[in-house]
Structure 1
Amino acid sequence: MTETPPTNPDSPLNPHDSNLVEPRGNGRVQLEISEWRRVSPKYVTVQIVGTVITFVVLLGVFGWLAFTGQTWAWIPFGIGVIVAIVDLAITPRQAKAIGYQLREDDLVFRRGIMWQRIVAVPYGRMQLVDITRGPLARWLGLAEVKLVTAAAATGVSIPGIPNDEAERLRDHLVEVAETRRAGI
C-alpha cells in the first residue's frame, strides 16, 4: 500500500491541495513526482450537470419518438439510459484522476482512469496561457486554464480550478515562460 506524499502548506496555488495516490497497479505509469495538485471537488458538479443536460435532451427526443409509436426509438432510448448511468457513475472518479504538477522546467498534466494521458509542457514552449469560464463553472467559481504550444498534441486544458488560483497559475506560467524563452 502506498502513502500519500506530504502536502506543502506554503504553496500559493491550490488551497485544497489534495494529492493523487501513486500508483494503484504495476501497469500504471509511475512518475518521480511527489505532489500532484488536483482540481476542485466542485468540478464534479459541473461535469454531472453537463451530462444530465445532454442526456435529458437526447433521451427526451428518443422518448418522445418511442411514445408516439416509433418502436425503433426504444433501442437508442435504452442504450442512452445505460450510457447515462455509467457516465454518471464514473464522472466523480474521472475528475479525481485529473492532476497537474509544476516542476522546475515544465508543467506535467495527467488525466484518465483507463486511458491515461500524461503530458509534460516545457515552460519555454508555452505560447499562450488562457483562462475560460463556462456559465455553470463561473457560477461555482471555477475556471479552465488552457496552455497552448506550437505542437497541437501538447496543448493542455486544466479544468475545475478556482478562479483566484487560475489567475495566479496563469500569471506564474506566463512569468516563467517569458524567462525561459528569453534564454533561447
Structure 2
Amino acid sequence: MTDSQTNPPQEPMPGTDHGPAQSPVLDEGTYTGIREPRGAGRLALDGHWHQISPRYVVSQLVQNLVFIAVVAIAAGVLSAIIGEMWVWIPAGVVILITLLTLAILPRQAKAIGYMLRADDIVFRKGILWQRMIAVPYGRMQLVDITHGPLDRAFGVSQLKMVTAAATTGVQIPGLSQAAAEALRDTLIEVAETRRTGL
C-alpha cells in the first residue's frame, strides 16, 4: 500500500527532522478528504492534512439561523413601531447574505485543514481565495482554546495560536475538544523544545 500524499499514522517524537509526534485523536470524527482547488496553480504540500469536525457546520448553521431570527424579529418590531416597510430592505439584505454564506459553508469547512511539519504548523482554508499560513513552532507565544455556549453544545472548539507578529496568528475552528487539547499539548511541547534549542 503506497501513498506518497500522507504520512504514517505515528511520526517520530518532537525534535526530530520529521516533525512532532501526532496523536490519532486529531483525525477522529473529522472530514476524510480535504477539498483542494483544481488546476496547476494550486498550492500543494507534501504531508498529511488534518481536518475539522463536521459538527462545526451544524454549530455555525444553528448560530446563523438564530442570528437570522433576531434580525427578522428586530425588523418586524421596528416596522410595527415606526409604521414603515423600508426597514425590511436592509434586514432582507443581511438575511440574504447570511443565507448565501450558509449555502457555501459545507464546502468551506471541507477546505479547512492543518499540517504539522518538522519546523512549523501550516494552516489552510479557502477554495477560490486559498490562504496558507505557516507558523514556526519556536515563534509561538500562546496557544489558546475557546468555545462559546453553542460550540460546547456541539462539542467543537477553536484553537488560537499567537506569535510575536500579529499577522501570523492562526485560528483553527471546528476542532473536537479532544483534538483541540491534543493539538495544544503537542504545540506547547514542540514550541518549548524549539525555544530551548535557539
TM over 0.5: yes
Aligned residue identity for 1:119: I
Q: Distance in 1 between matches of 2:124 and 2:151?
A: 21
Residues 79 and 85 in structure 2, CA contact (< 8 A), matched pair in contact too: yes
User: CA-to-partner distance for each residue in 1:89-128, whole Å, 9 max, x for gaps?
Assistant: 1111121111100011100001123332210000010111
Q: Distance in 2 between matches of 1:7 and 1:23?
A: 21
Indicate whether 1:76 and 2:93 are aligned. no
Residues 4 and 21 in structure 1, CA contact (< 8 A), matched pair in contact too: no
Number of the residue aligned with 1:25: 39
Q: Distance in 1 between matches of 2:8 and 2:155?
A: 23
Unaligned residue ranges in structure 2 (runs of 5+): 11-21
Residues 156 and 174 in structure 2, CA contact (< 8 A), matched pair in contact too: yes
Indicate whether 1:179 and 2:180 are aligned. no
Residues 36 and 127 in structure 2, CA contact (< 8 A), matched pair in contact too: no
Q: Distance in 2 between matches of 1:8 and 1:67?
A: 62
Indicate whether 1:100 and 2:107 are aligned. no
Indicate whether 1:66 and 2:79 are aligned. yes
TM-score of the pair, normalised by structure 2: 0.82
Residues 108 and 126 in structure 2, CA contact (< 8 A), matched pair in contact too: yes
Select which of 131, 140, 149 maps to 2:163: 149
Give SS of 2:129's match. coil
Give SS of 1:119's match. strand
Number of the residue aligned with 2:100: 86
Q: Distance in 2 between matches of 1:156 and 1:100?
A: 10
CA displacement at 1:64 relative to structure 2: 2.8
Select which of 112, 127, 130 maps to 1:116: 130
More displaced stretch, 19-28 vs 122-131: 19-28
Select which of 27, 44, 47 maps to 2:57: 44
Number of the residue aligned with 2:16: none
Q: Distance in 2 between matches of 1:4 and 1:104?
A: 17
Give SS of 2:192's match. helix
Number of the residue aligned with 1:56: 69
Unaligned residue ranges in structure 1 (runs of 5+): none
- Report the RMSD for the aligned CA atoms in angstroms: 2.2
Residues 4 and 22 in structure 1, CA contact (< 8 A), matched pair in contact too: no
Give SS of 1:40's match. coil
Residues 55 and 84 in structure 1, CA contact (< 8 A), matched pair in contact too: yes
Sort the Cα spacing of 1:113 and 1:55 in 2 relative to 1 into closer, same or farther, 3 A. farther
Q: Distance in 2 between matches of 1:74 and 1:7?
A: 53
CA displacement at 1:156 relative to structure 2: 0.6
TM-score of the pair, normalised by structure 1: 0.87
Q: Distance in 2 between matches of 1:172 and 1:55?
A: 38
